[in-house]
Amino acid sequence: AYTFNVAYGVAKAALDRLNRDMHVELRGTGINTISLYPGLVRTEGNLELERSGEWAEASGGLDLALGETPAFSGKAVTALATLEPEAQAARSGTIQVVAELARELGFTEDDGSQPPSIRSLQFLVPNYLVPKLEERDIEVPNWFVSSVPDFLLPWAVFSGGPPPE
């Protein structure tokens, strides 16, 4: 699906293809590859955009409070590296979402939280649905947003191009 801009999408697709092709060529060597997908990341640059009041326009209104720290991705790499070789090999050539790995492998942000997956309704509803409703002057009660389940949408949902206008 369309995200941010053409260069971002092309780079992401190229890395995913590199991951899959390397997996095929390196199969049986003990070298494994994955594409690691962090969610929205609270990088120094993004935090500065938020401080300067530019984040909303630059991100399309994404809620940076739902973001992950850069260290969260590091914890994912550590968790993957400590898996048994067979478990590592089983993931080789795949896409791994950092927040989903956190739930599966049991790591958290330093404050003990686990941000929602980029495929979760807990991330998608407040970042995409609610703003669209508010643009149409439809008030969304807080109880609705706070009760959204942590349901993961299948990857196929995201392959259809940009979201509808």
Please answer whether residues 128 and 99 qualify as being in contact, where contact means their C-beta atoms are separated by less than 8 angstroms.
no
| Active-site residue (options: 2, 8, 37, 128) | 8
Helix or strand (DSSP H, E) at 35 = strand 34-37
Other residues' Cβ atoms within 10 Å of the Cβ of residue 61: 15
For the record, the structure tokens of 41 come out as 């990341």
* Centroid of chain to Cα 42: 12
Place of tokens 């590296």: 81
**Secondary structure of residue 94 in the 3-state scheme:** strand
Decide if 8 is catalytic.
Answer: yes
Active centre residues (catalytic): 8
